[in-house]
Chain A
């Protein structure tokens, strides 16, 4: 038996919107730790890892570890039927081939349940070791989204370079080139608007902008984004989900042949 009650139901709606274009089908894993997902896109270039810790739920009952295969497009269709202020409860019985999403309006005057069919998915779980990164950039998530969107109108790839000068995002395309440099900026009053660059050594890596733009669909989940870079490692783009966990996107770099 599984019953997870999330008062801030809009978080789950936002999570789905940020992953459904990257991954079609995925297993949601439920354990004492929390509600999690790890899935790769079909070309094995990008991976999403989600964790919503059990403590973040108002009620969290998971009698035994359960993996539920869901079509994310269908799940998104159902969650779109929940109001932004609704409380969402996820329910499943052991051995059942369905999951139920229950939506309660804040005033309890409307209660809806949507039952969705589960599916068997051959999951390819990857072991992601802890790594030391050459550089970690934290910046406003909206600023990062804006940069990715702007650069994708010029080129297909972005070179992210971190030096002691700052972090540079560069692209080139048929019509020309673009470079955007963000310098460390901790002087602003609001910490979520600051840009913080931790650099152990300079690093420069190339990534497909198509994926970066897809990751930025998680922007509504967090004011800040953290970009961790190391040469010859996938970049990690992380959005912290307040008091609950995170959504992390891993993207393999492009290399010169």
Chain B
């Protein structure tokens, strides 16, 4: 099963 990662797990809010 594949899970879609979120961008928020890579980039921080600035």
Asked whether A252 lies within 8 Å of B14 as measured between CB atoms, the reply is: no
- Note all chain B residues with C-beta closer than 8 A to A254: 2-5
- Contact pick for B2, options A126, A127, A233, A255, CB 8 Å: A255
A146 to B11, CA, bound (A): 30
A209 within 8 A of B: no
A10 to B14, CA, bound (A): 32
Which size class do A's interface residues fall under?
20 to 34
Asked whether B7 lies within 8 Å of A157 as measured between CB atoms, the reply is: no
Asked whether A127 lies within 8 Å of B5 as measured between CB atoms, the reply is: no
- Note all chain B residues with C-beta closer than 8 A to A250: 7, 11
Asked whether A44 lies within 8 Å of B6 as measured between CB atoms, the reply is: yes
Known: A126-B13, A126-B14, A127-B11. A255 touches B6 (CB 8 A): no
Of B1, B2, B9, B11, most buried by chain A (CB within 10 Å of CB) is B11
A126 to B8, CA, bound (A): 8
A204 to B14, CA, bound (A): 29
- Note all chain A residues with C-beta closer than 8 A to B10: 233-234, 252
Asked whether B7 lies within 8 Å of A126 as measured between CB atoms, the reply is: yes
Asked whether B4 lies within 8 Å of A252 as measured between CB atoms, the reply is: yes
Query: How close is A232's CB to chain B, nearest CB, in angstroms?
Result: 8
- Note all chain B residues with C-beta closer than 8 A to A46: 7
A257 to B3, CA, bound (A): 6
A234 to B10, CA, bound (A): 8
- Note all chain A residues with C-beta closer than 8 A to B8: 44, 126
7 pairs, CB–CB < 8 Å, chain A vs chain B: A45-B4, A124-B13, A125-B13, A126-B14, A157-B2, A252-B7, A252-B9
A contacts, CB < 8 Å to B: 40, 43-47, 124-129, 157, 206, 208, 233-234, 250, 252-257
Q: Give 5 closest A-B pairs by Cβ, nearest first.
A: A127-B14, A126-B11, A252-B5, A254-B2, A257-B1
